[in-house]
A = this chain, B = another copy of it.
Amino acid sequence: MNITVPKKLLSDQLSLLERIVPSRSANPLYTYLGLYAEEGALILFGTNGEVDLEVRLPAEAQSLSRVLVPAQPFFQLVRSLPGDLVALGLASEPGQGGQLELSSGRFRTRLSLAPAEGYPELLVPEGEDKGAFPLRTRMPSGELVKALTHVRYAASNEEYRAIFRGVQLEFSPQGFRAVASDGYRLALYDLPLPQGFQAKAVVPARSVDEMVRVLKGADGAEADLALGEGVLALALEGGSGVRMALRLMEGEFPDYRRVIPQEFALKVQVEGEALREAVRRVSVLSDRQNHRVDLLLEEGRILLSAEGDYGKGQEEVPAQVEGPGMAVAYNARYLLEALAPVGDQAHLGISGPTSPSLIWGEGEGYRAVVVPLRV
């Protein structure tokens, strides 16, 4: 055996890879997990064709060349190993008939290896590889998580207008922005972090989810981002040794700035959770097609109501309403999703049933645009 690693460390780090590496794939090589060792480190890697991920663990290790093991049994086994330590080694030379020997406590296994030829080259940049990744920046992982998770919901699930199935990241000297839309509503989040370059990159929404998961495991470390041709690379500073490459979508969002309303006939301030709960309750009675909920905005209150096959419901929520009384209707799901990231106080800017409404919170970079239903 030439590699020994604590079971818990291995098991924890594998959970990131477990989400990426598919259990089935048109390319059977994707269902394998790659591993190799250097003096003092075990490196695990995998890909699903959209996201490449590499995890480096401190380990008692001599050098071991790259091998591919069947990922699913490896994940299953490591989770349930009986010992505190896991020992790994090659049972014969790689190539045909090569096997990875794994033992822990009284358990021993030999996993058949796949030939590494044909496995895709991972796109994670090597050290100072400025050539392929000319644009680089660093930002706090927690801030990046905030920006991504606030807008993710607004990305489209439809094939139609494929670009909207991604989240657009905008780097500029003014700051960093994440934005998502499905053509009917839009969410953006601004971070006041001036960037040294100007660029836009659209990351598929599902890859954003994996990116968020990796960033959340970063424990507050800085995230290093590097933009290359068609790829965004992410590395976490510090000991965790996680590197990730995300294939970008082609193109960029159509200009969305003109749909963000700047002035409103009516401004509303309301307790966020009270409004969300009322929308949730009343919308149980909504019609199943538009999930329509009607808002009557009057001095001191919002009166919500909905009516559908099951019957009708209404609820009143106290609110500060500045401006003339007004009736406006929304798709309850869109309204709820736009309100979800808003904290204690929700702000609404409304100009009537035919103009987009703006929703925002307090002191955060979040803004959401929701188009009302025709009354």
Contact = CB atoms under 8 A, between A and B. Distances in A.
A73 B284 contact: yes
A229 to B, nearest CB: 37
A313 B112 contact: no
B317 A106 contact: yes
Nearest to A314: B108
Contacts of A284: 73, 76-77, 80, 109
Nearest to A91: B311
A270 to B, nearest CB: 13
Nearest to A315: B107
Given A277-B80, A277-B82, A107 B282 contact: yes
Interface string A275-310: 001101110110000000000000000000000011
Contacts of A312: 109-110
Contacts of A309: 70, 112
Contact of A80 (B76, B81, B280, B311): B280
Contacts of A280: 80
A310 B284 CA distance: 49
A297 B23 CA distance: 35
A10 to B, nearest CB: 15
A221 interface: no
A106 B106 CA distance: 63
A82 to B, nearest CB: 7
Nearest to A307: B110
A99 interface: yes
A100 B311 CA distance: 9
A263 interface: no
Given A107-B282, A109-B313, A112-B311, 15 more contacts: A73-B285, A73-B310, A80-B280, A80-B284, A82-B278, A82-B315, A106-B317, A107-B281, A107-B314, A108-B313, A108-B314, A109-B284, A109-B312, A110-B313, A112-B309
Contacts of A252: none
A317 B82 CA distance: 11
A111 interface: yes
Given A80-B277, A80-B280, A311-B112, A106 B316 contact: yes
Contacts of A277: 80, 82
Interface string A313-355: 1111100000000000000000000000000000000000000
